Amino acid sequence: MNKESVLDSVLELVSFYDILTYDLKEEINRLADDLDKCAADNPNVEVIHSGSGFEGLSLPHVEQRGWWNTDADHMLVRTDVEILDCKAVVSVSEPSVSTDIAENVVPKTVYMHDGVHSGYVFLASKRLKITGENLDARAAPEYCLKNKEFIKSCKSMIPLSKTLMMALVEEDTLCICGPSYSLPYTGGLNMLHRDFVYSLKCKFWPSQAAEWRTRERLHSWPSSEMISNIVAHGCHIVPVGSHITDNLRDFEWRLSFSVAEMLLIQTLTKDQKLTYSILKALIKSEMKLREITVFSSYHLKTALLWFLELKGQALCQKDSCTLGQNILELLEFLTDFYSKETMPNYFVRTNNMIDHRSSKEILAVCNVLKEMKINFTQSLCQYIEGNQALPVFFDQSLTQICAENPKKLMQVCKYNFLLMALAGFLKSQKLNEDKQSYSKVCHLLKQSVVLHTTLRECCEVAHLENISVGSITAEFILSIVEGFLATDKLKVTENSAVVLAVFNVFLATHPSNLCNIGIPQNTREFYEYLANPEFKETLFWAARQHEKYCDAIYDFVVQHWKDGPHFISKDLEAQRVMKLLMVCLGKPTKQAAAVTGSMAQLDVSDKRFLIMRVLASYLLHVHLESAYVVFQAAGYLMGKSVLSEILNVINGTPDKQTKLFALELILSKDELKVHLPKEEVDKLIQQKQELVPSTHFIS
């Protein structure tokens, strides 16, 4: 296979985050709504939500503790301060000179003057005759608004601690970076790095950006209508000075075009956003490894906007160009900016955003970007391993396989496509999505088939090329996996890696009566949800295939785990589940240790008993004997008897059907009843009889 095909296959792996993080956007919007409600009490405050999380320019990545991470920016705009253009014609109704600045009080009207550095301004209480670098540093405090004083005044006017997600945070402990307060928020498996920026609204288009409004555009991007719309919105002023200004830095403010950027980003296609997101994630990862701080994601966004203007919307629009080629083209365009030691702001061309950096620092960035282009697939594999979650991984690292055996790398991609498709399908079942959501699943299945036929140079699965939405079931996906395993002749540990990945996908997606899914408990719909055959098929397929291909690993665990558990069951399917659990609990391989019920690389070694309890509760509805085995596993992990684990369910669940099945399980096992006094057994029988009429509607 050629390098381009290998790169495009590895790029497909990145899309797994989209399957796993379906609630991340929901979380971002929830936080935005909360902030809007808090600001609604103040008529002089407007909230604008921006940043990669809101713009769709983010590739969520996994933090070390297993959270999915992305960014969300919130601009808190004070609307009670009017900004006037000092270059405009003097109006008869213009306000008189104020002395509020000297008293450290934000005036109601200020004049905007050019700052020392291009892209920055001063805000003064009067029209100043001398501005820019000629402004007298001794006169500045008398007439110019100090950026830090503005931030202080805003803290009482817009107290962030009133927001729901920050109620327990002392504002004095927030991390201040430039004009913003930074705070990480964690919820579920999601982590959001939130920046809160105080700002002022400038209703007119600043003269420093006049060139953007009128410059010639060969490809008509953005359109004249879009330009007019952006100009009509004006811009914002944020309280931070430039890097090269010294004694006047405290009085400089930066021009912010966040709203304009959002309007432009909204015109981009999904592929264009993905091109940017992947490249940004990779560059940030590479720079972090080398401890280089020159690169900023805003530099890449700037390069993207320049690219679209200078070359039109050609990025990701040519049928002949792949995602990989588009990423490399944007990478080269960005590198060219750094090579010339200039990063011109898209709206204020004269603002070179890296002019405060040394040639040596900028050269270091150029060298990394050039190295990335040469070894891009290698960099991508390294990024995926460190920042993304893959369902299937073999004994060698992805980076090592990429360097030594491209054909093996494609095999890893093939199995991951299948497991990604399975995860997407099961997730859609859990959320009761319509079949239109299967399009990504279809795509992944077709990609896996293409890779399989290419690697084996045959057409033995050509009939699978006509995969359609209506044909997709868990059984269908797993039949493809089984066919590939039969022909690929993998090592035992590799077979185990694939099968254990299926089991892990099941654990991460299977229904549970312990989760709030929006369906009322003790209803037919609720129990149909729990008994969905797609999930049951996935679990028992994993148990069957692991016994078929990997029984040697189970034998190894039994032989070496001398003080390990001894689960009992006479049922064949339950025995297979037992073997699977023994391998996962014994952790003889790194793949077995990765079976955590989460595909986000969580360390749940101290919470495996919870996974077993949830699984046992689920299995009560689909296979009683397997539930018995899992209850034994939970009891072993907790150092308790299996009887006490089942009684916990009976005494703790409000779900009648779950309680009924747990009662049936105890009453069907003489080895359990023998540990109970006769009156307790009679009591359980009475409970069962009382429950049967209320659950008769379940077949």
364 to each of 33, 243, 300, 360, 632, how far by Cα in Å?
A: 42, 20, 16, 6, 58
Task: For 384-434, write each residue's pLDDT tens digit.
Answer: 988 888 899 999 999 999 999 999 999 999 999 999 999 999 988 865 555
Q: Note if the bond before 406 is cis, omega within 30 degrees.
A: no
Query: What region, left, alpha or beta, does residue 234 occupy, with left being phi > 0 and alpha being psi -120 to 50 degrees?
Result: left
Q: Report the distance separating Cα 54 and Cα 262, nearest Å.
A: 9
Does residue 217 fall inside a structural domain? yes
Say which CATH number the domain at 378 has. Answer: 1.10.1410.40
Per-residue pLDDT at 359: 97
Q: Phi and psi of 75, rounded to 5°?
A: -95, 120
Count how many domains the chain has: 2
Per-residue pLDDT at 602: 59
Same-domain status, 253 and 275: no
Q: Taking 50 as the threshold, does the pLDDT of residue 168 lie above it?
A: no
* Total H helices, total E strands in the chain: 29, 11
Per-residue pLDDT at 133: 67
Per-residue pLDDT at 177: 60
Does residue 368 fall inside a structural domain? yes
Q: Report the distance separating Cα 513 and Cα 519, nearest Å.
A: 10
Same-domain status, 282 and 248: no
Domain of residue 274: give its range.
268-389
Same-domain status, 301 and 180: no
Average pLDDT value for residue range 154-171: 58
Give percent of the chain above pLDDT 90: 57
Same-domain status, 194 and 237: yes
Per-residue pLDDT at 103: 54
Task: For 359-379, write each residue's pLDDT tens digit.
Answer: 999 999 999 999 999 999 999
Evaluate whether 56 touches 273 at the Cβ level (below 8 Å): yes
Does residue 70 fall inside a structural domain? no
Same-domain status, 277 and 374: yes
- Reading the block at residue 129, the tokens are 């005759």
- Reading the block at residue 316, the tokens are 């990701």
Does residue 170 fall inside a structural domain? yes
Same-domain status, 294 and 362: yes
Which span out of 93-97, 598-602, 632-636 was modeled with the highest average pLDDT?
632-636
Confidence bin at 697 (pLDDT 50/70/90) = very low
The dihedral over CA atoms of 565, 570, 574, 579, expressed in degrees to the nearest 10, equals 40
Show which of 389, 404, 435 is a domain's final residue. 389
Does residue 569 fall inside a structural domain? no
Does residue 621 fall inside a structural domain? no
Q: Report the distance separating Cα 17 and Cα 13, nearest Å.
A: 9
Same-domain status, 136 and 258: yes
Does residue 431 fall inside a structural domain? no
Strand-pairing partners, residue 123, are: 112
Calculate ∠ Cα 512-517-521, nearest 5°: 75
- Which DSSP symbol is given to 42? -
Q: Report the distance separating Cα 674 and Cα 665, nearest Å.
A: 14
Strand-pairing partners, residue 120, are: 254
Per-residue pLDDT at 70: 76
Q: Report the distance separating Cα 8 and Cα 15, nearest Å.
A: 12
Per-residue pLDDT at 541: 98
Per-residue pLDDT at 162: 59
Same-domain status, 243 and 277: no
Task: For 263-284, write each residue's pLDDT tens digit.
Answer: 999 999 988 999 999 999 999 9
Longest dimension (CA), the chain: 99
Show which of 389, 415, 450 is a domain's final residue. 389
Evaluate whether 371 touches 141 at the Cβ level (below 8 Å): no
Residue 199 neighbours by CB distance under 10 Å: 24
Q: What is the pTM of this model?
A: 0.88
Which span out of 129-133, 169-173, 586-590, 626-630 was modeled with the highest average pLDDT?
626-630
Same-domain status, 289 and 242: no
Strand-pairing partners, residue 186, are: 191
Same-domain status, 123 and 187: yes
Same-domain status, 102 and 194: yes
- Which DSSP symbol is given to 293? -
Lowest mean pLDDT segment, chosen from 473-482, 485-494, 686-695: 686-695
| 454-484 per-residue burial string, b: 16 or more CB within 10 A, e: under 16 | ebeeeeebeebeebeeeebebeebbebbbeb
Does residue 180 fall inside a structural domain? yes
Evaluate whether 122 touches 113 at the Cβ level (below 8 Å): yes
Same-domain status, 239 and 342: no
The DSSP bridge pattern shows strands 180-187 and 175-177 to be: antiparallel
- Which DSSP symbol is given to 344? B
Q: Which of the two residues, 333 and 97, has the higher pLDDT score?
A: 333
Task: For 60-93, write each residue's pLDDT tens digit.
Answer: 777 655 566 778 888 999 999 999 999 886 654 5
Evaluate whether 599 touches 518 at the Cβ level (below 8 Å): no
Show which of 389, 413, 444 is a domain's final residue. 389
| 503-539 per-residue burial string, b: 16 or more CB within 10 A, e: under 16 | bbbbbbbbbebeeeeeeebbeeebbebbbbebbbbbb
Per-residue pLDDT at 430: 67
Q: Report the distance separating Cα 473 and Cα 494, nearest Å.
A: 24
Rg (CA), the chain: 31
